Structure 1
Amino acid sequence: MTLSTAPHGSWPSPVTAELAAAHDGRPDQVGTVGEEVWWIAPRPTEAGRQALMRLLPDGSTRPALPAPWNIRTRLNEYGGRPWTAVPRPGAGPLVVFTHYADQRLYAWEPDGPAPRPLTPHGLHGAGLRWADPLPVSGRNEVWCLLEEFTGPAPADVRRVLAAVPLDGSAAEDRTAVRELTDDRHRFLTAPRLSPDGRCAAWLAWDHPRMPWDGTELLTAELDEQGTFTGVRTLMGGPGESIAQVEWAPDGSLLALSDRTGWWNPYRVDPDTGRSVNLCAREEEFAGPLWKVGQRWLMPLPDGLIAVLHGRGGQRLAILDPATGTLADAEGPWTEWTPTLAVDGSRVIGIAAAPDRAHEVVELDTCTGRTRPIGDPHTDPMDPAYYPRPRTRTFTAPDGHPIHAHLYPPHNPGFRGPEGELPPYVIRAHGGPTGRCEAVLDLETVYFTSRGIGIVDVDYGGSAGYGRAYRERLRHQWGLVDVQDCATVAEALAAEGTADPGRLAIRGGSAGGWTTAASLATTRRYACGTILYPVLDALTWAQGGTHDLESHYLESLIGPLTQVPDRYRERSPLYRADGITAPFLLLQGLDDRICPPRQSELFLAEVAGRGVPHAYLTFEGEAHGFRRSETVARALAAELSLYSQVFGFDAGPGVPALELRP
């Protein structure tokens, strides 16, 4: 094919902002209901709701519940597993789920009458929230994690393990909910029951720790009434992160601990706490526990264990705990998400690859066969437009590695003019304890197919590379992340990959902090896109965010009482006078993690300084955009920013973004 020549950024592309937005999101939270496989699927064109989908035995797929049912919990604001299926002898299964609009638990018989509420409305603040419901054999109730607000402030909250009756007696009566634990611990995961039903295990942690800093594995015995007795800490502590616990068929515990510096799988004696590493590798078998109910590991009935493992990306494997050997699942998928389910010899998960979007995948452990069974990938366009990511490792000034995924400009019909280097966008992920995934994302293709390069930076502090890499950011937020992104940008420019005069930086949430701080403290970037950001560490630490992250900055910046000046020195809000490059700021008006007030104060500091910028807000959007119209408008605005700053024609269908000084 003869390639046409056009300036980078102006290449015609079949990927419109609307097309990319319509494919935003991914399936999540797989499980089984009788012979069926169920999962949560995003519906960006339906106001961003999450639909519960079902795969029938005949291979057909259909929604379980129509709109407006939105299967999603707001526990800890980031959510968690919102549904389960309760087996019932002599009857079909009962599905229990959290509805986003009111956060109540509901029970529903598939194909039966409308769902009925199981829990009441809360009396204070954000009310009652439920996550990771667990069926309990022989009891007409589900056990789950309860988050209960006791007042109007974000910190007016308690969390306990609770038993919810399935007969609906608690639908209007909070006292009918049986509390299984006290609230001595600030944060918990939902319980797991031993095979004989006589013991429970769960995780707990307290401020100022985040779950990747240190957690405790707790166990308790159950009496005939289902009351927890003899609660004790079996393993873990302030310097050991246990990300998940499950019971093995033989009555031992399986835990994912990073006591070696890497999250590895352990078998734990529930009586003595003695533990054995089942696969000692410098790889991650878990990740940061942002959502309750994430599952990186699931035991199989025959004693084998389905696990996710790897450095950076994670793949599915079957672990033989007797030998410590791993057998990786075959197939094209390079990235699996932490939502595994087991049904007999089947392992069900969600996986993707650089040329495949996330889909529900089944592994038959008897035959070794893997196949997509739900939300199968279909190309919405010619796959010749997909970029080919390159995993790169750069070197920081202090010698540390910096991991990144590079997406060069790619269009099968176009190339840039001779001698013209392409513009590049440096993307900083959120978290900051998170990482980037090298998988198909039409938002990335939206830019690369037009001739704009993308590089996703797993800066110091990112998950996926061991505890030491995560702790590079300890007390260094606003420094290490900013420097690592700048190092990657400078390396790309120095090697002739990117145009040094046309570099942008972009990020959301914690990545928004990194973006704003980069614009305020360096002159490396020509412009930036800031999404739902943290901008004022001082306000954040003084009650300006939700409870989960309210003490997060003690590890990222330092204790406020000891280093108060550092909170101002690092915050983009107080360094706004250093910003000279144009920027776009995008904010959801319902965001309780990074409230709009921070963006408004930041804009007030920038006002009158002659810096071209635009501020777009979105009703009905919280932390992270879910509605297709929001995603499309945000993408088009971002492209318009780059076209104006980098000097190319964005083409038809891209509204001009008004930049005001």
Structure 2
Amino acid sequence: MSELSNPQPITAGDVARGVRRMAFPSVVGDEVWWEEERPDERRVTLMRRDADGTVRELLPAPWGVGNRVHEYGGRSFLPVPRRDDKAIPRMGVVFAHAEDQRLYLWERDAGEPVPLTPEPHTEAGLRYADFSLSSDGRSVLCVREEHGRARASGTDGGPGAQAPVGAPAGDEQTAGDHGTAVEAADTVAAAGAVSPVDTVGPADTVGPADTVGPVGGTEPVAVEPAGTDGAATAPVPDAPHRGRSGRGGDIRRSIVAVPLSGRGAQDPSVIRELASGADFYASPTESPDGGHLAYVRWNHPRMPWDGTELRVAPSQGTEYTLKGGVDESVLSPLWVNDSTLYLASDWPGWWNLYQAGLKGQAIALYPAEEEFHAPPWRLGHRSFQVLSSGLVVALHGLADMTPSLYDPETLDLTPIATDLTSWSQLDSDGESVVAIAASPTTPPCLVRLDPATGSIEVLRTSDLPGAGGDAGTADDAAPFRIPVPQAQTLPGRYGAPVHVNVYPPEGSGPAPFVIHAHGGPVSHSTKEYDLVKAYFTSRGIGVADVNYGGSTGYGRSYRKRIHKEWGVVDVEDAIGVARSLVDQGLADPDRLAVRGPSAGGLTALMALTADTFACGVSYYGVADLLGLAESTHDFESRFLDSLVGTLPGFTERYRERSPINRIDEIDVPVLLLQGTADPVVTPDQARTMAAALGERGVPHALVEFEGEGHGFRSAEARIRALETELAFYARVFDTDFGLGVRPLTLSTAPPERPRAAEPEPGPDAAPTQAGSLSANGSAGTEEALEREHQSG
């Protein structure tokens, strides 16, 4: 039995309100701007720090930034610098307004923000993300996502397809004449040759670094025979998707140039479409002279960490693929000059930095078996920046990234000394660099790095419980201990390594332990400051964060371990870690729990089919893979092709890997926490799982959070979720854990409408209605917010 030694356990209120979430910092002259969450107001706003250190809100309520491209969104603003040309707007900001998803321009002392894009015909039907300024400063280049438009053929060249929204129009022509070249190239690409096992694919030539991989495949053709991992016989580049797409069949994406004049709000024709025809786009950026447009694209069924193309469109000439393919992930192109790009590519096995000329072979700047980029779950992240001196500040590492200075002349990579161990989201004005950084004992903070001296200035820190405002480090302000993880590499399936961060609890002796499986599943957990883990460890419960096979941060081979093995490799790794902790004497074998959000919820539920865990907790987790394949949003609608297999050929495998079909093997209590407005894992998954558990008499509880999406945004929801989870462990382990509320009542009967009895509210909980936890938050993702501090 673990004896508690900490007299001040962390409360759920500390967790929900204790950390200010900041993201996407930008250097704007002598100021710094960034996005900052306001949980109590249920919005994300823009903040700025003046040269004198004053911090103030840039956009007052009710304005809030946020975009829902790919549902996960990303960077939602772009500073518009002051120019001498009077035709260019004064210092201001272009932002996506969370409420209606339109783009607005706001200038200081100019009144209300001015819309730049038209009102959509359907709610949030036009979305914009991944912004950059055109070379002439007159337009914003971005990814546009249109909802509610049928794509009869999947490309703009087929019968029934929509015509481009914009066309060259007088003085609104921007970014050269890229639109004409790209549209022509995509029309040609759509007329490629027919493969024996695929539909029409693009006729693009393969670039110097391209490799040809497995066929993308479209339904109803089954690329792989049922029950095997057989390869298709005629590999070709992926074609734009025209088959099964969950909810994404009426979604169309393109790269557009939005004039800063505001004319596009009333006349959509002046919003020029620069690239279209592919399923997904990212990172549009124009060369300094305006002669070339570079961007990243990919098609279903690939995810951006599987295979992308870096495309270059000359203002005069034909667009082409510079680097990338179906088995190479190319990300974040950045112009060094008019004819040279830096980029990240995972060929041949790690996301490293490359230099590419407009026609020449791409060259690895610093080949290393570590990652210089992270998976682009959200658009707008960058892990490297070029300084005016020509030096490059780059983040790199295994899972957790730290900065180094790369010299292209000497080819040296020099680490920058820092106690902050997890860095992300770089931005630079050419001289200084800003980022979000953290450590196991320091919450994420906004920092400025001077590359010339290596000095690091903390510009804004996270509020801590009892700190009464900003604090320099957790040790300065926290009235409790923050657990420091112990990194371990344990043997997994067939001897493959499994990376895990172990957070020992307060006290001594074998303790109850929670095995945490991150979401994604192609993502990873970092070792940065985490009050959720402290919430448990301060009560004598240990936590083990498992970066199971398939996690990012450890190279392509480790990431590919989950290929066709989701629901197997991740589950075995979680079980193996739990048993190893028991063997080490750290964990009590009778008090092991497994938890996970989203994809990690499937891992947790599947792990309950083995005789290892005493209970399991699923936060908006997947219970039915076939249901997920048919109902999830477009970005992930073909994700399961690589994680499980293509349909319909692998239907039986989908059933075998779905917890809903393994109920007869689950005999331990289950807690299901679910938002009612979840567009990724829809509420019917948790409800069906609860009903099935009840039919079999398995103790369970389903708690629904009204209005919450894929992740809980409001402080009330976060508080109630944590208190309910702790009450669940108290009930199962028959231990108080300093709870302050009665243990959760579990049901063993099938309810007419799945619902759970609630624990009595703790001191931090808001009043709720019985049977449903009320939280009127907007759709968003806790996983996405976590990835902001994991991704470069």
Q: For the aligned residues, what is the CA RMSD?
A: 1.8
* Deviations, residues 30-63 of structure 1 (Å, cap 9, x unaligned): 112332100111222222x212110101111111
Q: Which moved more, 1:123-132 or 1:345-354?
A: 123-132
Q: Give the counterpart of 1:171 among 253, 265, 290.
A: 265
Q: Is the 8 A contact 1:355 1:383 kept in 2?
A: no
SS in structure 1 opposite 2:662?
Answer: helix
SS in structure 1 opposite 2:729?
Answer: helix
Q: Is the 8 A contact 1:509 1:531 kept in 2?
A: yes
Q: Is the 8 A contact 2:25 2:435 kept in 1?
A: yes
Name the CA shift for 1:110/1:132 in 2 (closer, same or farther; >3 Å): farther
| Match of residue 311 from structure 2 | 218
Name the CA shift for 1:486/1:9 in 2 (closer, same or farther; >3 Å): farther
Structure 1 position 23 matched with structure 2 position 109: no
| Match of residue 132 from structure 2 | 134
| Match of residue 596 from structure 2 | 507
Q: Is the 8 A contact 1:531 1:586 kept in 2?
A: yes
The 2-side partners of 1:19 and 1:498 are apart by 26
The 1-side partners of 2:6 and 2:698 are apart by 28
Name the CA shift for 1:498/1:13 in 2 (closer, same or farther; >3 Å): same
Q: TM-score, normalised by structure 1?
A: 0.93
The 2-side partners of 1:260 and 1:559 are apart by 25
| Match of residue 226 from structure 1 | none
Name the CA shift for 1:567/1:148 in 2 (closer, same or farther; >3 Å): same
| Match of residue 490 from structure 2 | 394
Structure 1 position 367 matched with structure 2 position 453: yes
The 2-side partners of 1:352 and 1:375 are apart by 10
| Match of residue 597 from structure 1 | 684
* Deviations, residues 290-341 of structure 1 (Å, cap 9, x unaligned): 111110111111111111101121111111122332122222100012x111
Structure 1 position 356 matched with structure 2 position 442: yes
Q: Give the counterpart of 2:68 among 60, 69, 74.
A: 74
SS in structure 2 opposite 1:409?
Answer: coil
Q: Give the deviation of 1:190 after TM superposition.
A: 3.2
| Match of residue 256 from structure 2 | 162
Q: Give the deviation of 1:623 after TM superposition.
A: 1.0
Structure 1 position 406 matched with structure 2 position 492: no
The 1-side partners of 2:662 and 2:566 are apart by 15
* Deviations, residues 483-505 of structure 1 (Å, cap 9, x unaligned): 00000000001121100110000
1:398 corresponds to which letter in structure 2? Y
Q: Is the 8 A contact 2:149 2:251 kept in 1?
A: yes
Q: Give the deviation of 1:594 after TM superposition.
A: 0.8
Q: Is the 8 A contact 1:426 1:506 kept in 2?
A: yes
The 1-side partners of 2:488 and 2:77 are apart by 39
Q: Is the 8 A contact 1:9 1:643 kept in 2?
A: no
| Match of residue 3 from structure 1 | none
* Deviations, residues 608-645 of structure 1 (Å, cap 9, x unaligned): 32211111111221111111111111111111111111
1:167 corresponds to which letter in structure 2? S
Name the CA shift for 1:462/1:644 in 2 (closer, same or farther; >3 Å): same
The 2-side partners of 1:7 and 1:284 are apart by 38
Q: Give the deviation of 1:658 after TM superposition.
A: 2.2
| Match of residue 287 from structure 1 | 374
The 1-side partners of 2:96 and 2:742 are apart by 39
Q: Is the 8 A contact 2:333 2:343 kept in 1?
A: yes
| Match of residue 44 from structure 1 | 39
* Deviations, residues 504-560 of structure 1 (Å, cap 9, x unaligned): 0000010011111111x2121111110011111112222x10001000011000111
| Match of residue 149 from structure 1 | 147
SS in structure 2 opposite 1:32?
Answer: strand
SS in structure 1 opposite 2:560?
Answer: helix
Q: Give the deviation of 1:373 after TM superposition.
A: 1.2
| Match of residue 551 from structure 2 | 462
| Match of residue 217 from structure 2 | none
Name the CA shift for 1:638/1:298 in 2 (closer, same or farther; >3 Å): same
What is the 5 A alignment of 1:118-517? 118-124=116-122, 126-151=124-149, 153-182=247-276, 184-222=277-315, 229-249=317-337, 251-272=339-360, 274-337=361-424, 339-375=425-461, 378=471, 379=474, 381-382=477-478, 385-410=481-506, 415-416=507-508, 420-517=509-606
Q: Which moved more, 1:132-141 or 1:637-646?
A: 132-141
Q: Give the deviation of 1:12 after TM superposition.
A: 4.0
| Match of residue 177 from structure 2 | none
Q: Is the 8 A contact 2:15 2:531 kept in 1?
A: yes
Q: Is the 8 A contact 1:329 1:370 kept in 2?
A: no
SS in structure 2 opposite 1:88?
Answer: coil
| Match of residue 100 from structure 2 | 102
SS in structure 2 opposite 1:451?
Answer: coil
The 2-side partners of 1:491 and 1:344 are apart by 48
Q: Give the counterpart of 2:59 among 65, 73, 76.
A: 65
SS in structure 2 opposite 1:592?
Answer: coil
- How many residue pairs were aligned? 638
The 2-side partners of 1:481 and 1:282 are apart by 23
Q: Give the deviation of 1:427 after TM superposition.
A: 0.1
The 1-side partners of 2:461 and 2:59 are apart by 16
Q: Is the 8 A contact 1:297 1:306 kept in 2?
A: yes
* Deviations, residues 162-183 of structure 1 (Å, cap 9, x unaligned): 111222222244333211112x
The 2-side partners of 1:292 and 1:322 are apart by 31
Q: Is the 8 A contact 2:29 2:429 kept in 1?
A: no
The 2-side partners of 1:230 and 1:265 are apart by 26
Q: TM-score, normalised by structure 2?
A: 0.78
* Deviations, residues 392-428 of structure 1 (Å, cap 9, x unaligned): 0000140100001000003xxxx35xxx521000000
Name the CA shift for 1:214/1:14 in 2 (closer, same or farther; >3 Å): same
Q: Is the 8 A contact 2:28 2:429 kept in 1?
A: no
The 1-side partners of 2:737 and 2:500 are apart by 27
SS in structure 2 opposite 1:406?
Answer: strand
SS in structure 2 opposite 1:253?
Answer: strand
| Match of residue 207 from structure 2 | none
The 1-side partners of 2:291 and 2:533 are apart by 50
* Deviations, residues 416-446 of structure 1 (Å, cap 9, x unaligned): 5xxx521000000000000001011111111
Q: Give the deviation of 1:10 after TM superposition.
A: 9.3
Q: Give the deviation of 1:222 after TM superposition.
A: 2.2
The 2-side partners of 1:82 and 1:655 are apart by 42
The 1-side partners of 2:536 and 2:625 are apart by 32
The 2-side partners of 1:550 and 1:50 are apart by 27
SS in structure 2 opposite 1:230?
Answer: coil
The 2-side partners of 1:315 and 1:654 are apart by 41
* Deviations, residues 186-220 of structure 1 (Å, cap 9, x unaligned): 00003111122211111111011001110000001
Q: Is the 8 A contact 1:24 1:44 kept in 2?
A: no
Q: Give the deviation of 1:647 after TM superposition.
A: 1.7
| Match of residue 773 from structure 2 | none
| Match of residue 647 from structure 2 | 560
Q: Is the 8 A contact 1:330 1:370 kept in 2?
A: no
Name the CA shift for 1:654/1:371 in 2 (closer, same or farther; >3 Å): farther
The 2-side partners of 1:386 and 1:102 are apart by 40
1:32 corresponds to which letter in structure 2? V
Q: Give the deviation of 1:104 after TM superposition.
A: 0.7
* Deviations, residues 345-383 of structure 1 (Å, cap 9, x unaligned): 101111000010001111111222112112366248536
The 1-side partners of 2:110 and 2:404 are apart by 38
- Percent of aligned pairs sharing the same letter: 44
Gaps of 5+ in 1: 1-5, 224-228
SS in structure 2 opposite 1:371?
Answer: strand
Q: Is the 8 A contact 1:359 1:372 kept in 2?
A: yes
